[in-house]
Structure 1
Amino acid sequence: MKIGILKEEKKPADKRVALTPDQCKFILEKYPSVEIFVMQSNIRCYSDNLYRNKGVNVVNDLSHCDILLGIKEVPTSSLIAGKIYLFFSHTIKGQKYNRKLLSKMVDLKIQMVDYEVLKDTENKRLIGFGKYAGIVGAYNTFLTYGLKVKKYNLKPAYNCIDKNEMESQLCKIILQKEKIVVTGKGRVGQGINEILNKIKIRKVSKNEFLNNNFNEPIYTHLDYLDYNIRKDEKKSNKSDFYNNPSLYKSSFMKFAKKADIFIAGHYYAEGSPYLFSKKDAKNINFNIKVVGDISCDIDGPVGSTIRSSSIKNPIYGYNPITEKEDDFQKKGVIAVMAVDNLPCELPKNASEDFGNELIKKILPKLLKNTNDILIKNATICKNGLLTKKFNYLEKFIK
């Protein structure tokens, strides 16, 4: 079995990679029948020579490989017919900007296995960059808060050599009695919690957050039923919320009236209530001064997120009165951090974490049988056809 590591070609440049040099060496030693070939790249966070030093072939053509691993979408001009591809295709929601990509993969009889839909028997994702989105997103939120209140400055994560250097900056954070509210319980939430714990901010219950005063910074971590209630006030549960989101309304404002900082790491499903609207942000009792929107749904559930921001320019101000951008340091203006590619700020750490999950959870099944049920369920197209599970995309590619 020949595995090829793709060069990331999508703009802006992405330095991440599916497998690090050390991980490639591990695979070669564990699976003697496997060969790995890495496409030459001057963008990747690991140099070509680091791969060569681990005994990995560095080439300028992957057409002889069976399986091709990447991160972001592959340009249609670079696709190779008949191959098995794994990357984040961003096609399963019928994204218009990737219509040509999906259509071309079907035409070339490519087997497209999307990382996003590699899930376990409980429908939980097995692989992704969510943890590092949470880690960097939480860090950037405190970077933003320091600039907003003009009390401290942190080195941007993308200027740090690695996660260790970034975390060495946390001692510069100056907090007093701030109240922080966090949403999202998945990988993103785990990453957020990791940073909050390193800063040694105490976690409190939602009731304590709403009703008690503290002489120290604290945070509460909310699940979706903590800020969504049924409109008819009947008892709710997860299953009911999943199946009937239109029967619910947001109760997030009770937290927005108490919080100074909001770190949004939730997953937003279409049809669910917005956490807070632009109208809510106009409320005289709305207290949030900084929003770190890791989820980054534009003009969606977080009313102040009117656009995404960039790694080099991560902050903008949202004026609730005008509903337009403004100086984020002005009084009454919400400072918004809404970078939509956060893991790219720590590409080596993020790649290592991703590769470890790939090796542990996906690769054994992929090498044993490319028709394994796990792989099959994540295959969008194969042999010139959309698979049954994704046949709803037929109208999308015509």
Structure 2
Amino acid sequence: MPLLRRPSFGLRSITRRGCQYTTRSTPVTIGVRREDPGRVWERRAPLTPDSVAELVARDGVRVLVQDCDRRVFPIDEYTRAGAEVHPTLEPAHIVLGIKEPPLSTLLTSPVTLRPDSLVPRTNLMFSHTIKGQDYNMPLLSRFLKRGDTYADPGVAKGTPGLEATLIDYELLTDAEGKRTVAFGWHAGVAGTLEALAAMAHTYLERGFASAFLYTPRPHTSPYLDSHRAQLRYIGNQIAEHGTPRALGPCVFGVTGNGNVTKGILSILSELPIVQAEPEELPNLINNPDADLHKIYMVHALPKSYIYRKDGKPYNRIDYYANPDAHQSEFHTKIAPYISLLLNGAGWAPGFPRLLTTAQLALAPRLVAVGDISCDIDGGLEFVTRSTTIDSPSYDVNGVTVVAVDILPASLPRDASEAFAEKVLPYVRAVVKGYTGQDEKSDVVEAVKRASVASGGKVREGFEWLEEKVAAWRVSQDLAMSSEQGKQTLAPGKNKVLLLGSGMVAGPTVDELAARADVELVVASNSLEEAENLIRRHSNAKALLIDMEDRVRVEELVRQADLVVSLLPAPFHPSVAEICIKHRKHMVTASYISPAMQSLHSRAQSADVLLLNEIGLDPGIDHCSAHSLLSRLRSDNKEVVSFTSFCGGLPAPDAADVPLGYKFSWSPRGVLRAAGEGAKFRLNGQRWDIAGENILLNRFPDVPLSNVLKLEGLANRDSFPYIDTYSLKDAKLRTMLRGTLRYPGFAALMHSFKSVGLLEPTRTIKLDDWTSLTRLALEQQLGAPVPSDIASLTSALTSILPSSQVAPLLDALSWLSLIPPSRTPSSTTGPAISSLSIPKHPLPPADLLALHLAHTLRYQPDERDLVILHHEIIARTSQNTEEVHTSTLTVYGDAHASAMARTVGLPVAFAVLRVLGGGVRARGVCGPTVEEGVWKGVLDGLESKGLGVKEAVKTGVGMEGVLAEGLRRSTHEPVA
């Protein structure tokens, strides 16, 4: 375990301008994640509410739990125990799950322990990596270094000592090497119940009813005691009435001697069991007077059926040392006499099989096999695949085979309680590692032994896994190269011209310049910015460019194979015209404007692709929506509601500023959006909101998260997306796209607008920044306003409701946009002495954008947050409704902001697809034009650990909450 810094404790709540945020000097935080939604029957939890309560009260840790309606313990039991509900577990230092999570949800980036320190994260799970399982090498790869970088995309190059630790429960052992944390016992119990039920059903199909028909399947009750009671009832029925005489005595064969077998024997003890020795079996079966009011069981250990080929007697040490010198006689000594086989024995390659497929013919009485160990192609050769709780058995040569691979999940409550009790000491040891109390003990040593990977390397004894990961990485690189068109790129360098060097350009540059077959030119009006972007890349160069110099721009476009425009949106059509002239493809992240759309025919005639809307919103939102909608259509489900919200926000710990907002892209775009109208349908009602009212007619509560309080604004015209997504207009009761903000944003932005700060055309000449509000207000009122605070307050009161004046003055004072007050605010913003005053008159909106870009910029230790969420309600053929969601949550890191990654990376993925000839479309297009585009973007994001997460639930969606909130907001006071 690495020695980590001691956390500091404490909690304080900060409320500003109607927005409440919570900040804390972080205690050690444990996260209990939800299991992979694809594992339908996985209801277990690594920590129970009782164990959470103990950790919170006794150990002083903070516990976060992801909400999950499938988990056996309801979420309110956890909250009553002291846990907090959290959607992503991002703040957690220690993340616990049962089985491995989907790669897109795996948390391996470093996490804050104190405001000034990052520490590695620790994950505990059954990772299914320690046998070199190929399918989980991508997961293990995320914990291992790759040169000077980390597999996890959230960790910057050169960051020392921040690789996550992977602890596998399967490796937690005592000093003698025996496993201490496992579900084997519960697997034995559940597997026995499944096998008994399968045996009874098979007998019934053959014309014989038995008391075993009443065997409960394990998932049908949350409590094992009820299953035991039912087995006792079955035993009583057998003791009273016996088993069918035509079947002869019922004989169970049990193998193994570990925890699985102990579970088998424990649950069978509720039946009238009579022990039988292997040598007694022939006489028992052939005895016509055998007592049918009992169940006979033979516990077959290797000494009863394993023989040396040379005739020497069985010796356990010799058997494990020389397995190839031995053979199994289970098919002659045991199998011919048993009705049911319950296999709890493990198997390894090189050892004789317990029973082959051909040998099944030598077991005429064998009705069912419960392979509880579930070794595929293992000791039981005929077990060639695992089964599920939904469909627990299949037939092999007339024998019913049960091979469920998640048996303990059938007894989720009992299994979780037993597991949590065993794992708790190890969790405490990990916690102490973070608090600096990591003393030597058997438990701490066990944790070290169970750490598959730590410090970017596998632990001693598992070095061979690094070779497996390296092989997977090579295959992945080849696959990605092929996917992104590397094999079909033109010989030599493919020249890409990137226009712009703004806040989102970094990831685009890094992704493209990482390709040896790409030559990148970054042209910008800021040579310093462009040089900073390309400084790590030998195949990229920076140029100074003035977009007004059309001759120079045309020459650069002519020399390129493809052009990327990350310029402000108004420049895109003119760049596109140049691309059409020189027959060059172009990619941009911006919306398709009317001016751009007008170039469609010309671009098609020139065989040119103008690919737009390939960033975040628009971009990833289209790709993820298209992916989910395609799946719903393939399932013959009808979409009746489409709601989508997206927002780039400061992380909560950086949001205590005016507007609850900071800028990771151009502030001018944010201010411009505050004046654009919106059209949408919500809960059957059509809304047309004019631009002057967009900030008033907001959604006060967008219920995406149990942790973050969010408000929303409708985003432009939602109706064209009915066609974009090929939806049926007549069937849709909701079609809404919106933007996410923290509460208070819309009200304060509306106040800015009311006093003239968002005026886009009429100019003013600024004397100093503290006069901006007064000059904008004078322009708005058409009358002079004295510069003193009292006069300014009076003027504001004349155009704003009194309730909005104080919050506005508070924000303007923080931003230094009004003269200092005699009683200064308790909070003040950053100094702006370094921000120069424009020499020429500019509109207030442009001046405010310049100012906000400086005062509300992200500091080096702050990070942003991107949330994208679709909610699609689909109607099934049974006329029921399902709520499907598709969510992307990304935090910025030391290397790049979340906004830069979610805009810049899709652009790069699209560029590589186009260069590789993987996009046949021409003209003005968006990302849904071809599967190769939208799927290429989603696959690329998944490879970077930024996968979109889908989920489904029954019940109602958010339509009602949004409609009620919008109705209330329309009745609030209007300035």
TM-score normalised by length of structure 2: 0.38
Q: 2:54 aligns with which of 26, 50, 74?
A: 26
Is the Cα–Cα contact under 8 Å of residues 348 and 378 in structure 2 kept in the other structure?
A: no
What code does the residue aligned with 1:67 have? I
Is the Cα–Cα contact under 8 Å of residues 346 and 375 in structure 2 kept in the other structure?
A: no
Q: Alignment partner of 1:292: what SS?
A: strand
Is the Cα–Cα contact under 8 Å of residues 280 and 286 in structure 1 kept in the other structure?
A: no
Residue 169 of structure 1 pairs with residue 223 of structure 2: no
Structure 1: where are the runs of 5+ without partners? 320-332
Q: 1:47 aligns with which of 57, 74, 78?
A: 74
Please report how far the alpha carbon of residue 134 of structure 1 lies from its aligned counterpart in structure 2 after TM superposition.
Answer: 0.3
Aligned to 1:327: none
Query: Residues of 1 paired with 2:315 and 2:129: CA distance?
Result: 31
Residue 303 of structure 1 pairs with residue 381 of structure 2: yes
Please report how far the alpha carbon of residue 232 of structure 1 lies from its aligned counterpart in structure 2 after TM superposition.
Answer: 1.4
Question: Map of 1:132-171 to 2, 5 A cutoff?
Answer: 132-150=186-204, 151=209, 152-170=213-231, 171=233
Deviations 1:209-261 (A, max 9, x none): 45545413210212233322211122332222222211111121210011111
Query: Residues of 1 paired with 2:310 and 2:428: CA distance?
Result: 49
Q: 1:236 aligns with which of 305, 308, 314?
A: 314
Q: Which moved more, 1:97-106 or 1:207-216?
A: 207-216
Aligned to 1:348: 413
Q: Alignment partner of 1:388: what SS?
A: coil
Query: Residues of 2 paired with 1:336 and 1:227: CA distance?
Result: 22
Residue 15 of structure 1 pairs with residue 77 of structure 2: no
Is the Cα–Cα contact under 8 Å of residues 210 and 255 in structure 1 kept in the other structure?
A: no
Question: Map of 1:97-112 to 2, 5 A cutoff?
Answer: 97-106=135-144, 107-108=151-152, 109-112=163-166
Residue 336 of structure 1 pairs with residue 336 of structure 2: no
Is the Cα–Cα contact under 8 Å of residues 221 and 227 in structure 2 kept in the other structure?
A: yes
Q: Alignment partner of 1:269: what SS?
A: coil
Is the Cα–Cα contact under 8 Å of residues 154 and 169 in structure 1 kept in the other structure?
A: yes
Query: Residues of 1 paired with 2:86 and 2:446: CA distance?
Result: 30
Q: 1:124 aligns with which of 178, 182, 195?
A: 178
Aligned to 1:91: 129
For the structure 1 residues 227 and 10, does the alpha-carbon distance in structure 2 shift closer, same or farther, using more than 3 Å as the test? farther
For the structure 1 residues 313 and 192, does the alpha-carbon distance in structure 2 shift closer, same or farther, using more than 3 Å as the test? same
Query: Residues of 2 paired with 1:146 and 1:311: CA distance?
Result: 17
Query: Residues of 1 paired with 2:222 and 2:467: CA distance?
Result: 46
Q: 1:76 aligns with which of 96, 99, 103?
A: 103
What code does the residue aligned with 1:156 have? R
Is the Cα–Cα contact under 8 Å of residues 275 and 301 in structure 1 kept in the other structure?
A: yes
Aligned to 2:347: 268
Q: Alignment partner of 1:335: what SS?
A: strand
For the structure 1 residues 66 and 147, does the alpha-carbon distance in structure 2 shift closer, same or farther, using more than 3 Å as the test? same
Query: Residues of 1 paired with 2:125 and 2:37: CA distance?
Result: 12
For the structure 1 residues 275 and 67, does the alpha-carbon distance in structure 2 shift closer, same or farther, using more than 3 Å as the test? same
Is the Cα–Cα contact under 8 Å of residues 153 and 172 in structure 1 kept in the other structure?
A: yes
For the structure 1 residues 376 and 210, does the alpha-carbon distance in structure 2 shift closer, same or farther, using more than 3 Å as the test? farther
Q: Which moved more, 1:119-128 or 1:59-68?
A: 59-68
What code does the residue aligned with 1:229 have? Y
Please report how far the alpha carbon of residue 364 of structure 1 lies from its aligned counterpart in structure 2 after TM superposition.
Answer: 4.3
Question: Map of 1:250-329 to 2, 5 A cutoff?
Answer: 250-253=328-331, 254-283=333-362, 286-319=364-397
Is the Cα–Cα contact under 8 Å of residues 377 and 389 in structure 1 kept in the other structure?
A: no
For the structure 1 residues 364 and 74, does the alpha-carbon distance in structure 2 shift closer, same or farther, using more than 3 Å as the test? same
For the structure 1 residues 386 and 158, does the alpha-carbon distance in structure 2 shift closer, same or farther, using more than 3 Å as the test? same
Is the Cα–Cα contact under 8 Å of residues 272 and 295 in structure 2 kept in the other structure?
A: no
Is the Cα–Cα contact under 8 Å of residues 222 and 412 in structure 2 kept in the other structure?
A: no
Aligned to 1:363: 427
Is the Cα–Cα contact under 8 Å of residues 255 and 261 in structure 2 kept in the other structure?
A: yes
Is the Cα–Cα contact under 8 Å of residues 72 and 89 in structure 1 kept in the other structure?
A: yes
Is the Cα–Cα contact under 8 Å of residues 79 and 105 in structure 1 kept in the other structure?
A: no
Q: Which structure is higher in RCO with an 8 Å CA cutoff and minimum separation 6?
A: 1
Q: Alignment partner of 2:199: what SS?
A: helix
Deviations 1:239-292 (A, max 9, x none): 222222111111212100111111011111221111111111123x54312111
Q: Alignment partner of 1:281: what SS?
A: helix
Q: Alignment partner of 2:254: what SS?
A: strand
Residue 191 of structure 1 pairs with residue 255 of structure 2: no
Query: Residues of 1 paired with 2:445 and 2:216: CA distance?
Result: 45
Is the Cα–Cα contact under 8 Å of residues 63 and 82 in structure 2 kept in the other structure?
A: no
Aligned length: 382
Query: Residues of 2 paired with 1:35 and 1:238: CA distance?
Result: 49
What code does the residue aligned with 1:363 have? V
Is the Cα–Cα contact under 8 Å of residues 370 and 402 in structure 2 kept in the other structure?
A: yes
Query: Residues of 2 paired with 1:306 and 1:161: CA distance?
Result: 30
What code does the residue aligned with 1:389 have? G
Question: Map of 1:374-385 to 2, 5 A cutoff?
Answer: 374-385=446-457
What code does the residue aligned with 2:230 have? Q
TM-score normalised by length of structure 1: 0.90
Is the Cα–Cα contact under 8 Å of residues 147 and 153 in structure 1 kept in the other structure?
A: no
Please report how far the alpha carbon of residue 376 of structure 1 lies from its aligned counterpart in structure 2 after TM superposition.
Answer: 1.1
Query: Residues of 1 paired with 2:414 and 2:355: CA distance?
Result: 33
What code does the residue aligned with 1:217 have? I
Q: Alignment partner of 2:461: what SS?
A: helix
Is the Cα–Cα contact under 8 Å of residues 259 and 287 in structure 1 kept in the other structure?
A: yes
Q: Alignment partner of 1:199: what SS?
A: coil
What code does the residue aligned with 1:189 have? T
Identical counterparts, % of pairs? 32
What code does the residue aligned with 1:275 have? L
For the structure 1 residues 304 and 364, does the alpha-carbon distance in structure 2 shift closer, same or farther, using more than 3 Å as the test? same
Please report how far the alpha carbon of residue 393 of structure 1 lies from its aligned counterpart in structure 2 after TM superposition.
Answer: 0.6
Is the Cα–Cα contact under 8 Å of residues 193 and 216 in structure 2 kept in the other structure?
A: no
What code does the residue aligned with 1:172 have? I
Q: Which moved more, 1:207-216 or 1:252-261?
A: 207-216
Query: Residues of 1 paired with 2:418 and 2:327: CA distance?
Result: 37
Deviations 1:55-74 (A, max 9, x none): 22222232222211110112
Query: Residues of 2 paired with 1:23 and 1:211: CA distance?
Result: 52
Is the Cα–Cα contact under 8 Å of residues 4 and 62 in structure 1 kept in the other structure?
A: yes
What code does the residue aligned with 2:169 have? Y
Q: Alignment partner of 2:270: what SS?
A: helix
Superposition RMSD in Å: 2.0
Deviations 1:297-345 (A, max 9, x none): 22332133232221021122211xxxxxxxxxxxxx1111111111111
Please report how far the alpha carbon of residue 169 of structure 1 lies from its aligned counterpart in structure 2 after TM superposition.
Answer: 2.8
Query: Residues of 2 paired with 1:309 and 1:183: CA distance?
Result: 20
Is the Cα–Cα contact under 8 Å of residues 253 and 338 in structure 2 kept in the other structure?
A: yes
Question: Map of 1:196-235 to 2, 5 A cutoff?
Answer: 196-209=268-281, 211-212=283-284, 214-215=290-291, 216-235=294-313
Q: Alignment partner of 1:229: what SS?
A: strand
For the structure 1 residues 224 and 366, does the alpha-carbon distance in structure 2 shift closer, same or farther, using more than 3 Å as the test? farther
What code does the residue aligned with 2:368 have? V
What code does the residue aligned with 1:278 have? T
Is the Cα–Cα contact under 8 Å of residues 308 and 314 in structure 2 kept in the other structure?
A: yes
For the structure 1 residues 353 and 245, does the alpha-carbon distance in structure 2 shift closer, same or farther, using more than 3 Å as the test? same
Deviations 1:105-160 (A, max 9, x none): 22342110100111122221111111111001111111112111122343422222
